[in-house]
Amino acid sequence: MSGRFKTELDEVELDEAGLVALAQRLAGRLEDGGVIHLRGDLGAGKTTFARALLGALGVGTRIKSPTYSLIESYEVRGLPIHHLDLYRIAAPEELEFLGLSDLAVARFLLLAEWPERGGDALPAPDLIVHLAHAGPRRRLRLESETARGARWLGILSGQTSG
């Protein structure tokens, strides 16, 4: 039920299992790190997507929501991973408290929920994941912003259409 994902701009409707499966496939491509923005309303599936991705990367079973802590960090096989949730951020200047500039080492993976609240203070994305409610299912659209993001999408679309 993985949806017929074709290119970076196509919208697909997925159930939760499909969303999780897609995140897990993407996780297999992230060994060099990158920046992924997750956009969508409360309950649209951003955290489900992030959690599936982090789980597939091997961070363990306790994947706490960063809504209150703003940031949860992990390290897997030498790759620093940061899961951000900017829901409670009211102004980009507040990001200073997160010490993001210290985190942005040569190779890292950043997943950011509610990235629009961080403005320019947040690293630019390789990939934007747009999520929306569709009854019990979720509507998903992927948008690459860089060559790296386009490469991820190429791999994903090749896998799903083949």
Partner 1 sequence: MTHSIANTPHPETAGAGPVLGVETSCDETGVAVYDVARGLLAHTLYSQIKMHADYGGVVPELASRDHVRKLLPLIRETLRSAGMTTRNLGGVAYTAGPGLVGALLVGAACARALAWALDVPAIGVHHMEGHLLAPMLEADPPQPPYVALLVSGGHSMLIEVSGIGRYRLLGDTLDDAAGEAFDKTAKLMGLPYPGGPALAKLAESGAAGRFKFSRPMTDRPGLDFSFSGLKTQVLLAYQANAGEPGVKADIARGFEEAIVDTLAIKCRRALAQTGARRLVIAGGVGANKRLRAQLAEAAEGEGFRVYFPRPEFCTDNGAMIALAGALRLQAGLHEDAAIKVAPRWDLESLAAV
Under the rule (CB under 8 A), what is the footprint of partner 1? 42-43, 47-48, 51, 61-65, 67-71, 73, 90-91, 93-94, 96-99, 102, 135-136
Please, what is the Cα angle at 41 between 87 and 124, to 5 degrees? Answer: 60
Q: How far is the CB of 151 from partner 1 (least distance, A)?
A: 30
CA–CA dist 39, 8 (Å, integer): 15
Q: How far is the CB of 7 from partner 1 (least distance, A)?
A: 29
Give the nearer residue to partner 1 in terms of CB position, either 24 or 159.
24
CB contact at 8 A, 63 and 54: yes
Q: How far is the CB of 8 from partner 1 (least distance, A)?
A: 27
Q: Give which of 56, 6, 26 is closest to 127, Cα–Cα.
A: 26
Give the nearer residue to partner 1 in terms of CB position, either 43 or 158.
43
CB contact at 8 A, 19 and 138: yes
